[in-house]
Chain A
Amino acid sequence: MNARLALLGAMLALVAAGGRAATESPAAGTAQGVYSAAQADAGAQVYAGRCAVCHGADLSGTWEIPALRGRFVGNWGRTPLAKLYDYLGHAMPQFAPGTLEPPDNVAVIAFLLRENGAPAGGRPLPADRAALERIVLDPVTPH
């Protein structure tokens, strides 16, 4: 009996947790300032050292390599940043996948957000997958 009650309690707790997670996300969009300017600067350094060799110093890519402007927002738009964080973490840089450390990974994301017109905010983007799950990439208005 006690065991059954405990099991039921555990199940209720799971349901409650699941329900809470569902109502909490997404909590923010990149239009709200989800990275810091200093973090984007750091990300620019990481980008120059690890990404620019393929994607170009100006992020424009080539016929073969995806651009990280414009179409980039189209490809990742309305997607939680956690997906981008995971992808960069396990697939990039392609010549050394899995070598982007979490702080560098979020710094690069901050840099990409800045380069695609998302505003900086007061706090850096956390290298925390759960937090990134609650932030989606918002559309931007080009100039």
Chain B
Amino acid sequence: MSKVERVSLDKLQKQEEYLTSPSGNSAESIEEIQESNIWSQYQLSEEYGENKIVMQVKNPTSVHLYWGFTDELANQVLSKLGYHDLSELPLVLRLYDLTINKQYNINTTLEHKDWYINELNPGHNYLVKLGVIEDEMKFHPIIESNPIRTPRNTVSDNLDQDWMTVKDKLEKIYFLSGKGELEEGYSSPELIQKEEKVIQLSRLEEGYSSISLLKGSSEIVE
């Protein structure tokens, strides 16, 4: 029933260094240039004492989550269940695929403050709750994320054609014309399939960014 998705362990370890260890890479790089750079004196809080879990889309099949919750909130949940410490129960991210109405449990730990979930479905709606599992069955949420939708990454099968006319620069007269008005024209699947082929062959592995001056090459990373 419930499927455990543990992914990108090496990446998770990297996350830990960045986010949960004060002596991680990020802090080191700040120290390195302390002598030469006036900007280097600033360290940021690791926690803001808030109760939230934020989910952001990385690409059509993966999301990033970060979270934080207070002891007070956790204790409220625990005390109702008759427990005193979070370590007594497994901490779980429960992922809800709202599009197909399925849910998955992902084991996490108190040491983690963020997570990547991969192998999602493009074009689906998701929600995540972080909570504890009691008796290997019963899930008790502590915090709930924002909903997201992963972007679709294929050509749409929907061939409906709704058209709109936007008149002139400033007068905003919008009017809709119904479907089918231009149906006597050609249909574009061949055209779009041709383009799709090109895109698959040549792109999405390389990419661009608006800072070519700095990168020394027009083709960036990966």
Q: Do A and B bind each other?
A: no
Could you list which residues of chain A lie within 8 angstroms of chain B, going by C-beta atoms? none
